[in-house]
A and B are shown apart, each in its own frame.
Chain A
Amino acid sequence: MKQHSAMKPTNFPLKTITVMAIILSVIGIMTTAFKARVSPGGNPESSKMKRDSLASVQAFMDVYKVLMSPRCMNCHPAGEAPLQGDDSHIHIMNVQRGKDGTGLYSAKCSNCHQPTNVPGEHTPPGNPKWQLPPGDMKMVFQGKTARQLAMQIMDYNQNGHKNKEQLLEHAHDTLVKAAWNMGEGRTPPPLTHEEFVAAWNKWIETGGYAPAE
């Protein structure tokens, strides 16, 4: 495997610029991963990328605002319990992630969270896929800096084993989209879904750069 200089970010020479104009180590790995996962006969996806670190990082900062909003972060907690509400308090009822992220025993997510929202305020929001990330791939958002979160998402081994295409597609996942339809009384993410998709795509298409700390 080609050794990128960025594998050791601390050695990176251009520290004076505000944005790290660099393909971060994880991105190196990721692009490698993309290449490795190209189906037979397909084109290496990295060849399509128009690398632009500044635009990429700017796009990610918009993405970050969304991911850190309660509607996304609440199900990407640092601990084993999901979060709840606009204040992201720990989910009542001592709900736990469980091995596969769908809850435990009689406290499985879908026991309360229906395929659709339950009408009214303070009722469980719904989605057919409602769950947390699984125990072996927790995809924590809570407490992550923008840089940490970007690196995590770009890391095939931390992002649910998603390649670039799958990442792009993920913005249209029904559970991701549920963030914008979370039932009465819940503040939506700060961007519309369209704006989010645009920022997400741009971030990834321009190289998936991570902001500096």
Chain B
Amino acid sequence: MTPVSRRAFIRNTGGASIALWLGVSYDSYGGKTPDASLAKNFTPYILVESNGNITIYNTKPEMGQGTFQSIPALIAEEFEVSLDQVIIKQSNGEKELGNAQRAGGSSSIRNNYTDLRKIGASAREVFITAASTKWGVDVASCYAENGKVIHKQSNRKLAYADLLEEASKLELPKEPKLKDPKDFKILGKRIKRPDVALKTNGKAEFGIDAQVPGMLYASVERCPVIGGTLKSFDAGEALKIPGVEKVVETEKIMGRHHSVGVAVIANSYWTALQARKKLKIEWDTKGFETFNSVDFENRLRELAKEEGIIDKNTGAIETLNLPKENIVDAFYETPMAAHHTLEPMNCIAQVKGDQVEIWTSTQVPSSVTGNGANDLHKQIGFSPDNIKLHAKFIGGGLGRRLYIDFIIEAVNIAKQTDKPVKVIWSREDTTEFGPFRPMTFSQLKGGFSDDGKLVAFEHKVISPSYQESMRTDFDKTKVDKTMVEGIGEQAYEIPNIKTSFVRADFHIPVAAWRSVTSSTISFPHECFIDELAYKAKKDPMDFRMELLSKPSDTKRVLQKLREVSSWDKPLPKNKGRGVAQWEFFAGLCAQAVEVTYNEDRSIKVDKVYAVIDLGEVVSPDNVKNQVEGAIVMALGAAIKPGITFDKGVTMQHNFYDNPLIRINEVPEIEVHILAEGGKVKGVGEPGLPPFAPALANAIFAATGKRIRKMPFDIKSV
């Protein structure tokens, strides 16, 4: 993040009212923006108005992860205002707020914890200085509380709103003094989330809820065979349906994937949907129509025999020459998955001359309005200055809304009419056209020395490439680091480690899915650690702890998990307990799962204990909610069918054939937070990767059956 601007800005907002804007000033073009233009266009983190309103802007779109509270909380804590007394507004990709208006990678808090506090602290110091000047007293004799500055000795008080004139003459301090955490009133406390009340009476506005006067609706027919192209279409029958205005072609772009669909524009979504069924379209599916998952998975198994490209090679694994009986190997497989955000993809676009206005749910406002090489303006041929975004609450992001393909498609439709158009993807569209989480297959090998120490560990990942799918400039001779994410970075002390990657050509768009490749790759990795523990005839927790002799976050987390899960307390015979941990870019979490093996061979998941390591915690209850949710999502990915293809077509369409976890399937979950200082880690994703391996390891403990393929059926083990 760029440093806090040293200027506080003042502006007449009309009439007698004035407003003071405080915050980071960015220039979207990298240079210094003149103050005058800022005064016109500047969107602040904090806005204090003379009528007493205090507004704090949230630059990280709210998709359920809690940024609508946690981002303002960091500022409000230091600014000495309560969250009840501020208006929170979602930023809309305003260029002056920089290109970090993105929510992804569990980064919102871990990347901004200190910087946002500094913004609040700077603003606080400005008002304290303003008051002390006005009163003619020493700055040190004043403090701020509840949006007011107070003079200790005289107990005089002035609200921030009454100090605007004075404050506007001051510069924001560069290095403000941050509060002592023991004085925190918001951070680390249980504060009710401000968006919740909006979500209990239908008032929260998601992208799909936005209404623009004169708006039309569109539904798009896309080639069911992914990769297919449009040959021709006949809209005659569709156009006969009353309410249908137009049928147009529209291009969608996602990474290196381009496709053209046929959009029906009508006066209601229902009409558009009905008319869409009447379209007669000829697609060219040559080369794609025979693709199927069975053959592709076989291909991956074949590719496993290749050396692959080395990602990491520490020690000298090639020279060990361990005896065969000291070596364990295993092959693991995981499926593709759809995001299934409950809010289907949607976007309203309006094109007026060279201006574009967009209303949508997106994780990346900055990619919509930014001037980057892959940003929207490049794909639609408009100036980034002429793109205006209204960013709404997101009905589930999960990685899907990191991509702007659906926005590009909507703009391309809107270009062909003079009215705003709301494009809604049906649930089937949302499921069938991806992008999908890619499958990863893993070849694992572990070797022990003669005295029983784990001395060698190899993990080869065989999969399609995320980077190849989403970039146009991917170098195929290099490892796609996304696909081997985390596996070379676990804290286990193993002297010889080799990780490698074999890339499979793939024409289906693949993408980030909550916790990205860690969502699949933790499963083979942490199950295989269990296999090695079994080979070493050691308790899986003991085995891991022995690989963690030095102090590390992972060690602390596992120690805590051992304690809270009563790991060392024996379970009845038909029950089993499993453990897994995962550290990756987003953070660190470990889980212990308890299962019961029933007489009918089914598995009941009884309880999950989770320990998440954060360094610092903003909203503990929200962290628990996030981890609970990540576990539920991981449970679904572990035991419910994934995405498959036949004849080039996605075989799953809706929740009836790609089911999600329901309330009657959820185990008890107990979440523990470690916030002991140190590196600030993420919240949204780390709860996900450890679950599937911990479950499979628990099933092994209960049944003696080793599961090496996700998804697995727990109704019959």
A adjacent to B, CB under 8 Å: yes
* Interface pair B664/A122, CB less than 8 Å apart: no
State which residues 660-705 of B face A: CB under 8 Å.
662-664
* Interface pair B656/A92, CB less than 8 Å apart: yes
* Interface pair A122/B662, CB less than 8 Å apart: no
Q: Which residue of B lies closest to A85 (CB)?
A: B656
Could you say which residues of chain B place their CB within 8 Å of the CB of A92?
656, 659, 662
Could you say which residues of chain B place their CB within 8 Å of the CB of A122?
653-654, 656-657
Could you say which residues of chain B place their CB within 8 Å of the CB of A94?
662-664
State which residues 71-119 of A face B: CB under 8 Å.
92-94
Tell me the smallest distance from the CB of A92 to a CB of chain B, in Å.
7
Tell me the smallest distance from the CB of B635 to a CB of chain A, in Å.
16
Could you say which residues of chain B place their CB within 8 Å of the CB of A93?
662
CA distance A11 to B653 in the complex (A): 57
Interface size on A, as a range, is under 10
Q: Which residue of B lies closest to A92 (CB)?
A: B659
Main secondary structure of the interface of B (DSSP, over half): loop
CA distance A21 to B653 in the complex (A): 53
- Tally chain B residues at the interface, Cβ within 8 Å: 8
Number of A-B residue pairs with CB-CB distance less than 8 Å in the complex they form: 11
Q: Which residue of A lies closest to B665 (CB)?
A: A94
CA distance A78 to B523 in the complex (A): 38
Could you say which residues of chain A place their CB within 8 Å of the CB of B662?
92-94
CA distance A122 to B654 in the complex (A): 9
Q: 1/0 contact trace for B628-653 toward A, CB 8 Å?
A: 00000000000000000000000001
Tell me the smallest distance from the CB of A87 to a CB of chain B, in Å.
12
CA distance A25 to B662 in the complex (A): 46
State which residues 587-613 of B face A: CB under 8 Å.
none
Q: Which residue of B lies closest to A93 (CB)?
A: B662
CA distance A190 to B575 in the complex (A): 45
CA distance A92 to B659 in the complex (A): 9
CA distance A92 to B657 in the complex (A): 11
The residue in B656, B657, B664 that gathers the most chain A C-beta atoms within 10 A of its C-beta is: B656
Tell me the smallest distance from the CB of B274 to a CB of chain A, in Å.
10
CA distance A93 to B660 in the complex (A): 10
Q: 1/0 contact trace for A45-76 toward B, CB 8 Å?
A: 00000000000000000000000000000000
Q: 1/0 contact trace for B444-478 toward A, CB 8 Å?
A: 00000000000000000000000000000000000
State which residues 6-45 of A face B: CB under 8 Å.
none
Tell me the smallest distance from the CB of B272 to a CB of chain A, in Å.
16
Tell me the smallest distance from the CB of B654 to a CB of chain A, in Å.
6
Q: Which residue of A lies closest to B428 (CB)?
A: A122
Tell me the smallest distance from the CB of A178 to a CB of chain B, in Å.
20
CA distance A196 to B486 in the complex (A): 63
CA distance A199 to B656 in the complex (A): 35
CA distance A92 to B655 in the complex (A): 10
CA distance A93 to B656 in the complex (A): 10
Tell me the smallest distance from the CB of A121 to a CB of chain B, in Å.
9
Q: Which residue of A lies closest to B664 (CB)?
A: A94
Q: 1/0 contact trace for A122-154 toward B, CB 8 Å?
A: 100000000000000000000000000000000
CA distance A94 to B665 in the complex (A): 10
CA distance A122 to B657 in the complex (A): 9
Tell me the smallest distance from the CB of B429 to a CB of chain A, in Å.
14
Could you say which residues of chain A place their CB within 8 Å of the CB of B654?
122
Q: Which residue of A lies closest to B653 (CB)?
A: A122
CA distance A93 to B664 in the complex (A): 8
CA distance A122 to B656 in the complex (A): 7
Q: Which residue of B lies closest to A120 (CB)?
A: B277
CA distance A15 to B656 in the complex (A): 49
CA distance A122 to B428 in the complex (A): 11
Tell me the smallest distance from the CB of A161 to a CB of chain B, in Å.
34
Tell me the smallest distance from the CB of B703 to a CB of chain A, in Å.
23
Tell me the smallest distance from the CB of B546 to a CB of chain A, in Å.
44
CA distance A27 to B663 in the complex (A): 46
Tell me the smallest distance from the CB of B658 to a CB of chain A, in Å.
11
Tell me the smallest distance from the CB of A22 to a CB of chain B, in Å.
39
CA distance A167 to B335 in the complex (A): 51
State which residues 70-100 of B face A: CB under 8 Å.
none
CA distance A92 to B656 in the complex (A): 8
CA distance A93 to B663 in the complex (A): 9
CA distance A94 to B656 in the complex (A): 14
CA distance A92 to B658 in the complex (A): 12
CA distance A143 to B566 in the complex (A): 44
Lowest 9 CB-CB distances: which A-B pairs, in order?
A94-B664, A122-B656, A122-B654, A93-B662, A92-B659, A94-B662, A122-B653, A92-B656, A122-B657
Interface residues of B (CB under 8 A from A): 653-654, 656-657, 659, 662-664
Interface residues of A (CB under 8 A from B): 92-94, 122
Q: What are 5 A-B pairs with beta-carbon distances under 8 A?
A: A92-B662, A93-B662, A94-B664, A122-B653, A122-B656
Q: A94-B662, A122-B653 are in contact. List 9 more A-B contacts (CB 8 A).
A: A92-B656, A92-B659, A92-B662, A93-B662, A94-B663, A94-B664, A122-B654, A122-B656, A122-B657
